[in-house]
Structure 1
Amino acid sequence: MRKTLSLAAVVTAAAALVAVPGVSSAATPKPEVQWVTCPTDVGLPGLECGKLQLPLDYRKPQGRKTEVMITRLASKNPAQRKGILLTNPGGPSEGLTFPAVLKAVGLPQSVLDSYDVIGMDPRGIGYSSPSTCDMTEEQMADGSVPPYANNSAEVRQRAAEVKKIAEQCLKSSSADELPYNTTANIARDMDSVRAALGEKKASFLGYSYGSYLGSVFATLFPKTSDRVVIDSNLPPGGWDVEGGRLMGRGVEDTFPDFAKWAAAHPEYGLGTTPQQVRAKFFDLAARLDEKPSVEGIDGRLFRFLNFTGLYATGDAAFAKLAASWKAFDTGQPQPPQEYPEVPRVQALLAGRLNVMCGDSAWPSSVRTYERNVEIDRLRHPMFGAGAANIQPCAFFPKPVEKQVLPSDRGPRNVLLVQNERDPATPLAGAQSTRRAFGDRAAMITIDQGGHGAYVFGKNTCANDKVTEYLLGGRRPNDTKCAAQTG
């Protein structure tokens, strides 16, 4: 039977959840992990899989449960083991394979020896009681970052599209879980995982959206959070309306790195100065709006592909992006692309929407988004009118719990890691989060571009300082790491 989220249900949930703090293990029955065979697509070498039945609503610990799946990459060195390291890859998205990903990209062996590295599919996503919004393939292809809006009419058209998605979410079979699939409850789930694994404290490593999750975890659980490392940081409010708009600034911050590189590689024909490369961007966007590419890519999608293309930096990444531009410029087919398979896309996007829309109140007036788009099209012309565009959250019920913001009350155990130029989570947002934590936090700022710093970036200064903190617990002071060449 389909479950529609009624106004009465929202009001009831609100009464139960208003101002819910972090819930201590004493307030809920101690959860247990049921160790199970890993699903086929999660069964990577060294990973163990487990399930926990956790409260859907932590105000009613004896009530309805939600199932959360975790993985463990256990330390092979018991003498060196310090505890557990909870991880999150961002998104919000699936995280079961993330411990194996971290190992593959170079998480130091000393860290792997010191911790059992824990992955988790957040509630509502992947194998953890997945959500649905009954989206069509076309709706799922739209993703979770809005398209660039050339004018107010396109904002209104987008509003009609996302209103339908919101209505589908609110009428879906998982609609009654929607008020509880929030970052605050995911943080409570993480503390429940800690308790279930018999640990007094848990350390954390999270990227992108995971930075906000780590902030909430450290805020709600100052006594049980140990060493908290948050990388590629969202502003204090997470992925709210202002956090989303910052992506426009992020593209402007990061693009000069690519423009400088492309100007130094005239074989791509994109210009011989950074200014000419930037002008080529706007030329291509306008031409593709008028006549899409042979693959049907228009100017809006070109802008989005450029945004995601700036996530990685360096010769290989920039050469790939430049080759794509050259194909657009010359009317040739795009170079072959390898896109990672994303299983269970329905649950991924629906779960992501639940978290985004449940964490904070989004403006409900379409005119607000029209105004934001007008402002950001001028302020950040490359992608601002996409980042500021309307989301389905405009048509969701108001959150049932007060938004959790970083607190400066607690131990000095938070370390932010941040590239100076990041297309998705720019430095300005990280600086805001750093200020919100006060003396609880320090930040390592790295003179490099791209999304993801620790182990995903190759800056030895930053990587060594984060590793030293995870191993020894002595948090560095605010530090700037110079660009690393060669």
Structure 2
Amino acid sequence: MRIPVLAAVLATAASLCSAVPANAAAVWEPCDPAPLQCTSVAVPLDHARPHGAQVSLRVSRLPAGRPADRRGTLVLIPSGPGNTGVARPVTLNLPPEVRDVYDVVSFDPRGLGGSTLASCELSLADLGGLNPWPAPDGGISANVATARRVAAACAGNGGDLVRSISSRTEVDDLDRIRAALGERRISYWGISYGAYVGAAYATRYPGRTDRVVLDSLGDPDPDRLARGWLANTAVGAEDRFADFARWAVAQGMAPDAAAARELFLSAAARLDRSPREWVTGNTLREALRGLNTDAGLPRLGQLVRVASGGPLPAPPQPPPAAALQNLAAVATATICNDVAWPRPVEDYRRGVADNRARYPLTAGMPANITPCAFWPYPPHQPIRITDRGPSNVLLVQNLRDQATPYAGALRMREALGRRAVLVSVDAGGHGSYRSSGNACGDAAVTRYLLTGTRPATDVLCR
């Protein structure tokens, strides 16, 4: 039996004896995966009512390897929105010399993992339809129906917790974690959505930042936020396809880049007409959008071959249903509570048709409707990223990133102005530092974390 979400929130808030208030010292205990230590921090359900109902955030720590040389706390801000963070101090590939001198900390955002959990109690069908791929003919009627149901479910089942979730809230939650850690200032590494949260934190609390690394950057336009991030994936797919085209030519799948593009598009169209078991045209397009590292190139090539009778690979395994419910609730609440979205369905029909023509690799999905078109709550006040504050931000960005394309990173660089230096990395995929394999980019970030020295100007690492 599932407990209604609001009741669960109130029950958790009433029994937070195990969670430390943000103004008290954290008490750590061993937790998984070893050798992590964990604690729980109580934060307001609504930061405008700091003494009202509280929720719990699960926080992890990997203590500095050389305590005598410890220089502070490095927080790993989770990506997403909708991803957990507690395991990241041991699963992210930080250099030993960085782990030696920082307490490495991360957390599960509200709604996720070991924190107070959120759910919209979606049907299994709606859980599987959250990426708004249009029908093969470009129609969006099914997407509209899904968006309506999801918005209604979140409003009916998500309670005050879902209403509270936003990027602004996460920024304030992060500051409560800082206080519970007893730190006057924190360093942090934010990746993808975590990079936006990190930029917003550096704007809202500039004097509480030490060394800031923002990796894989979205456009911070406060009038669009996730609307812009989704739209920009059409550009990112075009950027990233160049790497697949080179790989396909090297594998003998196509004689040149133009032929590789035609091969991909014709395979997607064939699978639109005649899906093979779990592989559809949108399965293929989604695989391109998910090409986070070059290790995924062979699987994408395998899916292209499926269209012409090649063997079917094993289907991907979805997360457990409960975790998927939490992810869906947090991701939906964040993008819808952050900023206002257009309401008229016809706007999305026109947008999808135009987007399909301009960006055939993504077939109109980046312009499609989301539950935010029917969201019943007013948006939280967005944080406008500015150049006011210390010059202590290092940006790192791959040139061919399908999720957060380089064009958006340049807009983040512009917004931060004199506060930031940009390290551009000639690589493909999502996540640059310790992921792209570029020694120049990795060295620039590691040097900054260890010494506080950034490149004097923006640099390109080839």
Both structures adopt the same fold (TM-score exceeding 0.5) = yes
Give me the whole-angstrom Cα distance separating, in 1, the residues matched to 2:33 and 2:316.
21
- Corresponding residue of 1:7: none
Q: Is the 8 A contact 1:53 1:67 kept in 2?
A: yes
Name the SS for the 1:79 alignment partner. helix
Task: Please say if 1:292 is aligned against 2:278.
Answer: no
Q: Is the 8 A contact 1:408 1:439 kept in 2?
A: yes
Give me the whole-angstrom Cα distance separating, in 2, the residues matched to 1:276 and 1:214.
41
Deviation for aligned residue 1:32: 4.6
Cα 1:71/1:213, change in 2 over 3 Å: same
- Corresponding residue of 1:258: 244
Give me the whole-angstrom Cα distance separating, in 2, the residues matched to 1:142 and 1:188.
31
Q: Is the 8 A contact 1:86 1:205 kept in 2?
A: yes
- Corresponding residue of 1:373: 352
Deviation for aligned residue 1:98: 1.1
Q: 1:311 aligns with which of 292, 297, 320?
A: 292
- Corresponding residue of 2:152: 167
Name the SS for the 1:45 alignment partner. coil
Deviation for aligned residue 1:337: 5.5
Deviation for aligned residue 1:400: 4.3
Deviation for aligned residue 1:399: 3.5
**What CA deviation, in whole Å up to 9, does each residue of 1:124-153 have, x standing for no partner?**
12221111111122222224x32145455x
- Corresponding residue of 2:228: 242
Cα 1:338/1:353, change in 2 over 3 Å: closer
User: Residues 65-464 of structure 1 correspond to what in structure 2 (within 5 A)?
Assistant: 65-92=54-81, 93-102=83-92, 105=93, 107-143=94-130, 145-151=131-137, 154-172=139-157, 174-237=158-221, 239-266=225-252, 270-293=253-276, 295-308=277-290, 310-313=291-294, 316-330=295-309, 332-336=310-314, 339=317, 341=319, 344-383=323-362, 385-464=364-443
Q: Is the 8 A contact 2:165 2:333 kept in 1?
A: yes
Q: Is the 8 A contact 1:149 1:389 kept in 2?
A: no
Name the SS for the 1:344 alignment partner. helix
Cα 1:163/1:79, change in 2 over 3 Å: same
Amino acid at match of 2:172: R
Q: Is the 8 A contact 1:89 1:206 kept in 2?
A: yes
Q: Is the 8 A contact 1:418 1:453 kept in 2?
A: yes
Name the SS for the 2:219 alignment partner. coil
Task: Please say if 1:54 is aligned against 2:43.
Answer: yes
Name the SS for the 1:271 alignment partner. coil
Give me the whole-angstrom Cα distance separating, in 2, the residues matched to 1:181 and 1:473.
33
Deviation for aligned residue 1:474: 2.2
Q: Is the 8 A contact 2:25 2:182 kept in 1?
A: no
Q: Is the 8 A contact 1:36 1:51 kept in 2?
A: no
Deviation for aligned residue 1:305: 2.0
Q: Is the 8 A contact 1:130 1:351 kept in 2?
A: no
Question: What stretches of structure 2 of length at least 5 have no aligned partner?
Answer: 7-20
Deviation for aligned residue 1:3: 7.5
| Identity of matched residues, % | 36
Deviation for aligned residue 1:50: 0.7
Cα 1:340/1:453, change in 2 over 3 Å: farther
Cα 1:67/1:435, change in 2 over 3 Å: same
Q: Is the 8 A contact 2:385 2:415 kept in 1?
A: yes
Q: Number of matched residues? A: 442
The answer to which of 202-211 and 372-381 deviates more is 372-381
Give me the whole-angstrom Cα distance separating, in 1, the residues matched to 2:88 and 2:22.
28
**What CA deviation, in whole Å up to 9, does each residue of 1:90-140 have, x standing for no partner?**
1121111111111xx3x1111101111111111112221111111122222
Name the SS for the 1:297 alignment partner. coil
Name the SS for the 1:223 alignment partner. helix
Deviation for aligned residue 1:317: 3.0
Q: Is the 8 A contact 1:68 1:129 kept in 2?
A: yes
**What CA deviation, in whole Å up to 9, does each residue of 1:282-324 have, x standing for no partner?**
111111111111x23221222112221x2211xx432232123
Cα 1:66/1:3, change in 2 over 3 Å: closer
Q: Is the 8 A contact 2:433 2:442 kept in 1?
A: yes
Q: Is the 8 A contact 2:284 2:303 kept in 1?
A: no
